[in-house]
Amino acid sequence: MQKETKIFRYILAFWLNFPLQAAPVNDLGIFKKVPQQWAQLLHFSENSPSSLPESKTGPFYLSPGAIPQDEWQAFGEALARSPQATRCRFPARWWQYALQTGGQPSLAALADCADLQAWLRPLPNRHIALVFAGAYMGNPSSLFGHTFLVVSNRRPFGAAATVIDFAGEVDADVGALSYISRGIGGGFRGHYTLQPFSAKWFDYAVREGRPLEIYPLAWRSSEIDLLWLHLWELRQADFDYAFFRQNCSYRILALLAAIRPELEFRPDFPRVTLPGDTVHWLANRNQLSEPEAVPALSQLAERRAPSDHIDLRLARHYNFRPGRVRPGRDRQDKEADWRELAQTVIAQPATTGPHHNVLAAHGPSRWVIGMTGGQTRTTGLAVGWRAGYHDGLDPPEGFLAGTAIELLGVKLSVQDKRVALDALTLLHLQSSPSNSLAEDRSAWELGWSRERRLQADRSRRLQSALRLGYGLSRQTSSWGWRAAVALEARDRPYLSLRGVAGLDLEMAWHHAAFNSLLRLRHDLLGDRQSRLEWGNSWAMNRDNALRLELYGESNGAAYTPYWRAGWAHYYR
């Protein structure tokens, strides 16, 4: 019996892709003869006993098998055959090899590497920071935000800083379905890139309205120099890119761990790597300093006075839409004006006042335990769980107003000794632009769920619904509204579908202590059902809140009221 139990445990562990006991690098047999940092410099998956290389085999690896022990031996042989060529091709690897074999590496020893020196000459090396960009609902790869590094010779970080980014290469003609499926499955190639910080600020804070948080890292100049040497050799690397694990944040952590071995992160991110979670992970290890905030232009317009010497007239004229051409101005002139404005603002990043703060954001997963009842239902226990990420009633701190991203949510109720599944949300996405001066206030919604449309009838089966909505919205930091036309495909017996057209009206109020949401959904064509919802949440702290939801449903008659109330706990 013990033998069968042991076999079952190993099968279960393999199925979950999670080790029964996290093993440090040197406990794995193949790592016993090589230093830990060597395996990290070569980007091996250290939380797996097989230690698969994360880069494609090719010029980045020297041995046919591409395992750390063979790479150590192959590098030593290459260094013996061609010391100057090998040292210039893999300067960070040479640095680590020299340290482990009793040598004293220095930058002076790389002075004969002409191409490397020309590449290094304009790069800064005094200050480095991790940057978190807020969520952008217009791209599936940016639904949860984005992280990258920025390096500068001065503080605060300005337009002259250099960005270290990781991104997937996407063909211009790739279709939407192919983009999503390949992004989920890791079907894109990814590479590290360098670009000016002003261009990144323009793309994110101006084009996409995403605030930036800059978290300085307490690194020495010598560590930044080693980081540049490693990036030089990473130009030969070819990685897979996927939305949920080996994404931008995963590769940025891998880059940091290659220089600081104590930042080995892979055992803590076995399946999903969310950008916000990586910021929390580094903060919990005392790696981050107080952030500098670079707000989106909409946020600047809301709270900055003209005396701040930042010209926002261009923002008002162009309404945050660089692609929209004003009469008498061509696109090239307009882009130049936008870039000039971006450089003006980024030269004076806001470091005080309220700003988007991912470290103050609640955890993505949530439990809700409370009570439920209504006019035709007895009071009973209510339990809810959600895998991720954020909805309109969750505490707003650290999230963009008016947005919702929900993945795999369940609502259960226990009444009269019966357990019922009230709702199963597979996916719910809602985007509402958060700039108050924009002419384009379009908002959209996408949802796929199974729920009881009439809560009074507990014997009624769950009904599937695929929902698409499009309308107008306006969002500020304290309040917002949304009006949209929605189309639903609802299932009927024998797997047939019927279409329903409806109207959505929504008002929201945002505050650090509470969040309120009022929503009316009415079917204009089809079932003629309507639903009125009001909810409020009170934040107790970052990971705990009280929620109250009142809702009524009508099928052509009077509204029948129901309620759910409980304690919500958020976790990572």
Query: Per residue in 415-431, pLDDT tens?
Result: 878 888 888 998 888 88
CA atoms within 13 A on the CB side of 227: 29
Rounded CA Rg of the chain: 27
How far is residue 61's CA from residue 74's CA, in Å, rounded to a whole number?
Answer: 9
pLDDT in tens, 309-323: 344 444 443 333 444
Nearest C-alpha neighbor of 572 from the set 454, 398, 315: 398
| Per-residue pLDDT, 207 | 72
Higher pLDDT, 478 or 317: 478
Instruction: Indicate the pLDDT class of residue 57, thresholds 50, 70 and 90.
Output: low
Whether the Cβ atoms of residue 407 and residue 274 lie closer than 8 Å to each other: no
> Is pLDDT above 60 for 501?
yes
> Is pLDDT above 80 for 1?
no
Q: Is the Cα dihedral 223, 225, 229, 235 positive or negative?
A: positive
Helix or strand or coil: residue 81? helix
| Per-residue pLDDT, 48 | 41
User: In this structure, are strands 463-475 and 188-196 parallel, antiparallel, or unpaired?
Assistant: unpaired
> Is pLDDT above 80 for 494?
no
Instruction: Indicate the pLDDT class of residue 176, thresholds 50, 70 and 90.
Output: low
Higher pLDDT, 451 or 437: 451
| Per-residue pLDDT, 500 | 67
| Per-residue pLDDT, 393 | 87
Higher pLDDT, 193 or 56: 193
How far is residue 146's CA from residue 150's CA, in Å, rounded to a whole number?
Answer: 13
- Stated as kind and residue range, the H or E segment containing 571 is strand 560-571
Instruction: Indicate the pLDDT class of residue 172, thresholds 50, 70 and 90.
Output: low
How far is residue 256's CA from residue 277's CA, in Å, rounded to a whole number?
Answer: 16
How far is residue 500's CA from residue 528's CA, in Å, rounded to a whole number?
Answer: 9
Residues of the chain with CATH 2.40.160.40: 361-571
Instruction: Indicate the pLDDT class of residue 386, thresholds 50, 70 and 90.
Output: very high
Q: Which residues contact 388 (CB under 8 A, 6 or more apart)?
A: 274, 364, 365, 405, 406, 407, 408
| Per-residue pLDDT, 559 | 73
Q: Is-above-0.75 flag for pTM? A: yes
- How far the first Cα of the chain sits from its last, in Å, is 36
| Per-residue pLDDT, 231 | 95
**Is residue 95 packed enough to be buried (19+ CB in 10 Å), middle (13-18) or exposed (0-12)?**
buried
**Is residue 112 packed enough to be buried (19+ CB in 10 Å), middle (13-18) or exposed (0-12)?**
exposed
Nearest C-alpha neighbor of 535 from the set 544, 522, 523, 545: 545
pLDDT in tens, 134-162: 877 766 667 788 899 999 998 878 777 89
The CB density around residue 87, as the number of other CB atoms within 10 Å, is 22
- Give me the mean pLDDT over the 280-297 stretch: 85
How far is residue 281's CA from residue 529's CA, in Å, rounded to a whole number?
Answer: 46
Higher pLDDT, 56 or 503: 503
Nearest C-alpha neighbor of 282 from the set 312, 252, 310: 252
> Is pLDDT above 70 for 560?
yes
CA 249 to chain centre: 8
- Give me the mean pLDDT over the 265-289 stretch: 90
Of all residues in the chain, what percent carry a pLDDT higher than 70? Answer: 72
> Is pLDDT above 60 for 458?
no
Of all residues in the chain, what percent carry a pLDDT higher than 90? Answer: 25
Q: Rank 53-62, 124-133, 168-177, 325-334 by mean pLDDT and report only the highest.
A: 124-133
User: 361-571 belongs to which CATH class?
Assistant: mainly beta
| Per-residue pLDDT, 226 | 95
| Per-residue pLDDT, 257 | 92
| Per-residue pLDDT, 542 | 86
| Per-residue pLDDT, 345 | 56
Tracing tokens 């919500």 back to the chain, one arrives at 568
Higher pLDDT, 59 or 260: 260
| Per-residue pLDDT, 255 | 94
Greatest CA separation found in the chain?
Answer: 87
> Is pLDDT above 80 for 302?
no
